[in-house]
Structure 1
Amino acid sequence: MSPNSQFKVLVVMGTRPEAIKLVPVIRELKKRDMDVKVCVTAQHREMLDQVLTLFNVVPDFDLNIMKPHQDITDVTTQVLVGMRQVLGACRPDVVLVHGDTTTAMATALASFYQKIPVGHIEAGLRSGNRYSPWPEEINRQLVGTLSTLHFCPTESARQNLLKEGVDPSILHVTGNTVIDTLLEVNTRIEADAGLQHSLEKSLALEGRKMILVTMHRREHFGQTFENICLALKDIAQKDVQIVYPVHPNPNTREPAQRLLGGIENIHLIEPQEYLSFVYLIRRSFLILTDSGGLQEEAPSLHKPVLVVRNNTERPEGVEAGAVKLVGTERANIFRETLNLLENTRAYEAMTTVNNPYGDGHAAERIADILVRHASR
């Protein structure tokens, strides 16, 4: 890079969670006068666009790969081919990817093929089981192998990479950028009573204790997912309301509608844009999820999280006491949920811990590290 040229950064994302976690990084890099370009693959078109609109991010490149009935192989090959053209046109000094999506994995591989350095945000997460979550566990390991900068959300994630033999000099503990975005949006909601009223009215929430549900993991498709739905049906026998924004994937949508549709206090709603979703977190009594991001977000708003999985790549929340693994068995999901609904001591123990995932300044740290990297 010549002394008078700007350091070029290409930020690539394909899904809503990636956008939520990369928006603050894009903002901080631009504050530092870097030449930042944004590429979206649109692995999840509509859900991604909601976040881009909320934060006024206009992509410079859009692969628009989302098609009906595509599988992981289709996504991988389309991103590889599309990124070849984008990288050739952009020639960045570094490519930033996030987490464990197929977009991140294929982008890292495409960058490696062109000998362009990769920075991995949310690096070092490991579940220890290559099929849970699937394909994310192997995706993130592949991204890690291909990366030359690792931005770890926690010290535990850094230790995972050290155990794998990664050079300590390229490991940086930054906190998780999702906390940056969450706190910004939460502040926006708190400061605007009119917005709160509008969100309350649009979501038509009741006065009963509300359980927020998100379920979408591929490894749960089939009988496991149906068992989870039946557990929600059991929970609905109690004096609660269940709000479930249903993922558009037909493997979740069809059984959710079939098993839970028509139950008076189970509200199957469309996926929410992030502002509304944060409001749902704020209004919830507890959260049932198989998501990774909610394990990080909910403790910041002091909401207990029951993770409907047998393992997690985010052990910090479990160790802190804000998150509990409850597995996928119908009876156990019901039992653990009932415990939090009826046992005040157990509930308070999960809501009074500090969030181990960050302080809202992770993006600033990442940007500062890249500034130092650019000056070498």
Structure 2
Amino acid sequence: MNIFGWTKEQLAEALKDHGIPRFRADQIIRWMYQRGAVSFDAMDNLPKSLRTQLPQHFSIDRPKVVSRLHSADGATIKLLYEFADGQTAETVLMRHPYGNSVCVSTQAGCRMGCAFCASTLHGLQRNLTVGEIAAQAIGIADFLRQEGARVDTIVVMGSGEPLENYDNVMAALRLLHEEYTIGLSYRGVTLSTSGIVPGIERLAEEGIPISLSISLHAPTDALRNEIMPVNRMYPLADVLRAARAYAERTKRRVTYEYILIRDLNDSVREAEQLAKLLRRQLASVNLIPINPVAERNLFRPSKETIRRFQKALEERHITATLRREMGTDIQAACGQLRNRLMEAGL
């Protein structure tokens, strides 16, 4: 039984079945999540007899890093994790002036089919488990600990649609919140969705202050249908209604992500439509010039076009920021590294 991804309470219950005192769970869990232990032999404050007994019933299986890329400026590190069944997913460390942020994946691949995204090129293989999601952040925490730093924030924006793997995602975030793992504040978590309305509604009922980010990318149903197939199931009106309810319930501002694509959704007309759509909402817009994916044949607008779009929103009293680009030299956009290795047959 692989215990990586278990809570202290789950481990204590399992230990009890083998006649092992509950207090040992705290020792084992801290070795596993805070000291990087991958075997019971390393846990030198446990009796030798217990270190011999534990492997007969339990294992500590963490995903392994099969590729690691560093940006030239040292601010971004991209990891490709491989899981026990050979599936892979990407994780990105971004060093910001305000702290270290980790972007985690929640699925191996993705079934959403967004026209601009590399993650969905090979479809969805499977959901990631609680341990596989948590291991991405804990692995980065192990790395940062060596330089006296820590994980400050997590963005659930990697490969996959997190609200289609709801239970595992929330269990992983609750595990990462525990003081015996990395003690992550819920206010330091941002979850991004393509607009899975039932998941947004369920998240609002959790009672934890996670920031919600919605991938919008178009101001009309006709255009969003074209680039985001999910819109046919959850159209803009339903997504915006759920987002407003989330903001009202949590008192947290919703961020709308808007990827700017040349000659597709980047005109002043689309900016005006977007401003009208978001009027009187507790919301802001995060503008993202597309990170070109070779297979998609979609390109970023000029700097002048981007500035014009942002200005049009601001003139209509919509808060709009331009995402700081990080890791473009190492293909830090979701799915790019994974796809490259898959196509090479690695």
**TM-score, length of structure 1 as denominator length:** 0.24
Q: Rg: which structure is higher? A: 2
The structure in which a higher percent of residues are strand is 2
The structure in which a higher percent of residues are helix is 1
